[in-house]
C-alpha cells in the first residue's frame, strides 16, 4: 500500500519538490525563501481534521555562553508550505494524527514531571550612536530595502549600490530605485557590479565623503551551487575587500542561522565568506547577523487556509520550529550593529519576539485568527526519498534541480534555531529574541479587511515556483 501510494503521488510530489526552493532575491537572510503555496494545487487535498492542540517541547535548562552564540547561525526560511497532495496521502494523515496524539501525551507527562523552563534571551535595541556614511549592497531586496530605510531614519548618510537594472526581473532602473527612497532622508543611489571587485572599488572610491561602513544583504537567487559561490561567497567578498581597502571601519553581513549545520551549497558558500571576514577582523570589524525565518517565508498557506483549504505540514508538524522575525525588526538589529560595541567581531544569531513556533503551532494560530476549525494535512517525510530519487535519476545528483530538492528537505527537517552545543539539539531558549512584532501581530494586521500586508510579502520570480510555471498565491 505504501509503495502504491508513493508511486501515485510522484507526479504531484515532483512539482512539490521543485516548488520547495525559493530565492531571497538580493538579501542574505533567506536564500531558500518561501515554499510555493500552489505547488500541486491541481490535485485534491485530503484533510486530516486534527484537534487544535499546541505541542510544546519541555525546555531543557542550560547555560548560554558567548561561544555558543558565536557558533550559532541563522536562516530564515521554510515553514509556510502551501501544498496540495493527492488522496494517496490520506492514510499518512490518519497515522500522523495518531502519532501527534501519542507524542502530546508523552510530552504532557514530561512537563508534569517537573521539566524546568528557561527564559529566552532577549536582545535590547540600541537607540543612540554616531552618524556614519554607510553603503548598502543588495539594498533593493526584501531585507536590504528595510535596512536602508532604518539606517536613514537613524540619521546615517546612506548609499545604495545596485545594478543598472535591479529588482524582480530587472524591472527597476536607477531612477526607479532613487524614487523609491525619495522620502528617506536623501539616500544616494549609485550603479555598481558586485561581481567585479575592480569596478566595485572604483565606484566606492568616487564617493565623497568616503563611506565608513558597509552592510551586505546579498544572496544567491537560485541556491544552485555555482550561483551560491558566485554571490554568497565571491560577491560578498568583493564588497568586503573593496570596503576594507578604502579604509572602511565595519562590515555587517546578513547571513543565515542554518549554516550551523551545513548540508547545502549556499550554506558552504556563506560559511566561507564568514571565515574570510573573521580573518580580517583586526583591519575592519565585522558583524555576522544570522536571522531565523522571515515572515514572508511563512505565508505561503495564508490565502489558501483563508479560502477554506487545510494547513499542510510534514510529519505531525511538531518536529521543526522557528522564531520568525519581521523585516523591520531585523533591519533595526542590523542597524544596531553599527552602534553596539558588543556586536563587533561577533557572530549574532537572532530571532523575533516570543517563543519558538512549530509548523503545527503556526497553523493553529492561523486558524484561530480566522475563527476556523483547524484542519491539517500531514505529509510523510519518506516522500522526499521517493522524489529525490526520481529527480537525481533524470537530472543527476550534482544538478541544480537535485540541489533544490535537498533544500526543500532541509527546511522540512531542520529547525531554524540555535543548536545547543551540549546536546546537539535545536533550542528556542538559546535563540535570542529581538523586536516588537510577533507573527501573531503581523497576521492579525495582514488578515484585516483592506490590508495589503500579504501582497507586500510576495516573492514574485524570486521563488523557483514562478520559473517552473507555478503561480504564487
pLDDT tens-digit map of 229-252: 999 999 999 999 999 999 999 999
Q: Which of 112-116, 193-197, 408-412 has the lowest mean pLDDT?
A: 112-116
Residue 65's CB: how many other CB atoms inside 10 A? 12
pLDDT at residue 279 above 90?
A: yes
Helix (H, G, I), strand (E, B) or coil at 94: helix
Would you say residue 356 has pLDDT above 70? yes
pLDDT at 381 over 80: yes
**Where does the pLDDT of residue 53 fall: very low under 50, low under 70, confident under 90, or very high at 90 and above?**
very low
Per-residue pLDDT, averaged over 256-282, amounts to 96
> Which pLDDT score, from 0 to 100, does residue 344 have?
96
Residue 51 has pLDDT above 50, yes or no: no
Entry field: residues in the chain: 473
Q: Is the model's pLDDT at 3 over the cut of 50? A: no
* Residue in 325, 297, 22 with CA at minimum distance from that of residue 146: 325
Is the pLDDT higher at 106 or at 262?
262
Measure the CA–CA gap between 172 and 165, rounded to whole angstroms.
Answer: 5
Beta bridge partners of 286: 251
Q: Is the pLDDT of residue 150 over 90?
A: yes
Residue 125: pLDDT band by 50, 70, 90 thresholds?
A: confident
pLDDT above 50 (res 321): yes
Given a cut of 90, is residue 23 above it in pLDDT?
Answer: no
Pairing of strands 357-358, 311-314: unpaired
Q: What percent of the chain has pLDDT over 90?
A: 57
> Residue 116, Cα to own-chain centre: how many angstroms?
30
Q: How far apart are CA 382 and CA 314, in angstroms?
A: 10
Mean pLDDT throughout 22-48? 35
pLDDT of res. 40? 32
| Candidate from 12-26, 173-187, 360-374 with smallest mean pLDDT | 12-26
Residue 267 has pLDDT above 60, yes or no: yes
The CA dihedral of 436, 434, 185, 162, to the nearest 10 degrees, is -130
**pLDDT of the residue at 120:** 54
Q: What is the DSSP letter of 346?
A: E
- Dihedral angle computed from the Cα positions of residues 352, 354, 358 and 361, in that order, rounded to the nearest 10 degrees: -130
CA distance 317 to 100: 8
Q: Which residue has better confidence, 108 or 227?
A: 227
Whole-angstrom Cα distance, residue 317 to residue 96? 9
Largest Cα span, the chain: 70
List the 188-191 sheet strands across, edge first: 188-191, 157-162, 133-137, 213-216, 250-254, 285-291, 346-350
Torsion of CA 120, 121, 124, 130, to 10 degrees: -150
Residue 129 contacts residue 107 (beta carbons within 8 Å): no
For 93, residues 6+ apart whose C-beta sits below 8 A from its C-beta are: 46, 47, 48, 376, 377, 378
**Cβ atoms within 10 A of the Cβ of 424, count?**
8
> Given phi > 0 = left and psi -120 to 50 = alpha, else beta, which region is 49?
left
Per-residue confidence (pLDDT) for residue 80, from 0 to 100: 34
Instruction: Give the containing element (helix H, strand E) for 411.
Output: helix 400-413
Q: Which residues of 427-457 are buried (b: 16+ CB within 10 A; e: fewer)?
A: bbbbbbbbbebbbeebbeebeeeeeebbeeb
Q: Give the residue with greater pLDDT, 158 vs 95.
A: 158
List the single range of 17-26, 246-255, 284-293 with lowest mean pLDDT.
17-26
In this model, does residue 115 exceed pLDDT 50?
no
pLDDT at residue 414, as a whole number = 96
pLDDT number for residue 221: 81
Range of weakest confidence among 52-56, 150-154, 221-225, 347-351 = 52-56
CB 303 within 8 A of CB 337: no
| Residue 21 φ/ψ, nearest 5 degrees | -105, 120
pLDDT at residue 349 is higher than 50: yes
Task: Give the best-scoring range by mean pLDDT among 37-46, 69-78, 425-434.
Answer: 425-434
- Please, what's the b/e burial string for 106-137 (b: 16 or more CB within 10 A of its CB; e: otherwise)? ebeeeeeeeeeeeebbebeebeeeeebbbbbb
Torsion sign (Cα): 273, 279, 284, 287: positive
| 219, 24 Cβ separation under 8 angstroms | yes
Neighbours of 202 (CB within 10 A): 12
Q: What is the pLDDT of residue 342?
A: 95
Confidence of residue 213 (pLDDT cuts 50, 70, 90): very high
Decide which of 86 and 98 is more confident: 98
- Residue 146: pLDDT band by 50, 70, 90 thresholds? very high
Q: Is 90:381 a contact under the CB 8 Å cutoff? A: no
Report, as an integer, the average pLDDT of 83-89: 35
Segment 108-136 mean pLDDT: 66
Name the range with the highest mean pLDDT among 8-12, 55-59, 358-362: 358-362
Q: How confident is the model at residue 190 (pLDDT cuts 50, 70, 90)?
A: very high
- Using an 8 Å Cβ cutoff, are 194 and 137 in contact? yes
pLDDT at residue 452 in the model:
78
For the CA atoms of the chain, what is the radius of gyration? 22
Pair 334, 345: CB distance under 8 Å: no
Averaged pLDDT score across all residues of the chain:
76
What pLDDT, on a 0 to 100 scale, did the predictor assign at position 167?
A: 63
Alpha-helix runs per DSSP H in 27-141:
66-71, 90-112
Q: What is the pLDDT of residues 430-470, one digit of tens each?
A: 999 999 999 999 999 989 888 877 776 654 444 433 333 33
> 176 preceded by cis ω (within 30°)?
no
User: Which is higher by pLDDT, 300 or 38?
Assistant: 300
The whole-number pLDDT of residue 176 equals: 86
Give the CA distances from residue 136 to residues 81, 330, 343, 441, in Å, rounded to whole numbers and listed in that order.
31, 15, 18, 29
> pTM, whole model, 2 decimals?
0.76
Choice between 424 and 15, residue whose per-residue pLDDT is larger: 424
Return the pLDDT at 56: 31
Amino acid at each position: 500500500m505504501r509503495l502504491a501510494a508513493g508511486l501515485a503521488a510522484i507526479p504531484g510530489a515532483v512539482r512539490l519538490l521543485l516548488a520547495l526552493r525559493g530565492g531571497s532575491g538580493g538579501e542574505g537572510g533567506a536564500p531558500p525563501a518561501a515554499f510555493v503555496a500552489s505547488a500541486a494545487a491541481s490535485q485534491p487535498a485530503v484533510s486530516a481534521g486534527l484537534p487544535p492542540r499546541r505541542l510544546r517541547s519541555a525546555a531543557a535548562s542550560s547555560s548560554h555562553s558567548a561561544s555558543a552564540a558565536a557558533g550559532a547561525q541563522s536562516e530564515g526560511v521554510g515553514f509556510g508550505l502551501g501544498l496540495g497532495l493527492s488522496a494517496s496521502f490520506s492514510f499518512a494523515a490518519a497515522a500522523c494524527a495518531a502519532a501527534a496524539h501519542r507524542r502530546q501525551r508523552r510530552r504532557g507527562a514530561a512537563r508534569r514531571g517537573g521539566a524546568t523552563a528557561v527564559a529566552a534571551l532577549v536582545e535590547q535595541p540600541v537607540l543612540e550612536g554616531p552618524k556614519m556614511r554607510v553603503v548598502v549592497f543588495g539594498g533593493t531586496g526584501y531585507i536590504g530595502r528595510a535596512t536602508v530605510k532604518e539606517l536613514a531614519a537613524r540619521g546615517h548618510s546612506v548609499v545604495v549600490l545596485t545594478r543598472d537594472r535591479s529588482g524582480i526581473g530587472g524591472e527597476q532602473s536607477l531612477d526607479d530605485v532613487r524614487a523609491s527612497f525619495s522620502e528617506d532622508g536623501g539616500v544616494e543611489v549609485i550603479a555598481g557590479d558586485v561581481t567585479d571587485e575592480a569596478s566595485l572599488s572604483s565606484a566606492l572610491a568616487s564617493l565623497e565623503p568616503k563611506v565608513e561602513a558597509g552592510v551586505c544583504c546579498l544572496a544567491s537567487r537560485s541556491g544552485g551551487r555555482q550561483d551560491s559561490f558566485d554571490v554568497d561567497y565571491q560577491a560578498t567578498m568583493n564588497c568586503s575587500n573593496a570596503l576594507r581597502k578604502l579604509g572602511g571601519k565595519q562590515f555587517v553581513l546578513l547571513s543565515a542561522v542554518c549554516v550551523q549545520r551545513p548540508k547545502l551549497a549556499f550554506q558552504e558558500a556563506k560559511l566561507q565568506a564568514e571565515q574570510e571576514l573573521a580573518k580580517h577582523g583586526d583591519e575592519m570589524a565585522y558583524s555576522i547577523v544570522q536571522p531565523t525565518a522571515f515572515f514572508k517565508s511563512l505565508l505561503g498557506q495564508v490565502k489558501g487556509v483563508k479560502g477554506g483549504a487545510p494547513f499542510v505540514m510534514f510529519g505531525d508538524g511538531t518536529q521543526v520550529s522557528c522564531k520568525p522575525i519581521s523585516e523591520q525588526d531585523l533591519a533595526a538589529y542590523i542597524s544596531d550593529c553599527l552602534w553596539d560595541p558588543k556586536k563587533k567581531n561577533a557572530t549574532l544569531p537572532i530571532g523575533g519576539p516570543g517563543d519558538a513556533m512549530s509548523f503545527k503551532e503556526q497553523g493553529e494560530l492561523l486558524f484561530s485568527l480566522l475563527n476556523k476549525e483547524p484542519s491539517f494535512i500531514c505529509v510523510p517525510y519518506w516522500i522526499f526519498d521517493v522524489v529525490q530519487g526520481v529527480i537525481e535519476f533524470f537530472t543527476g545528483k550534482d544538478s541544480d534541480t537535485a540541489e533544490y530538492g535537498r533544500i526543500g528537505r532541509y527546511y522540512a527537517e531542520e529547525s531554524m534555531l540555535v543548536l545547543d552545543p551540549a546536546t546537539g539539539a535545536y533550542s528556542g531558549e538559546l535563540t535570542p529574541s529581538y523586536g516588537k512584532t510577533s507573527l501573531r501581530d503581523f497576521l492579525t494586521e495582514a488578515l484585516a479587511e483592506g490590508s495589503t500586508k500579504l501582497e507586500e510579502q510576495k516573492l514574485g520570480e524570486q521563488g523557483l515556483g514562478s520559473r517552473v510555471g507555478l503561480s504564487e498565491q
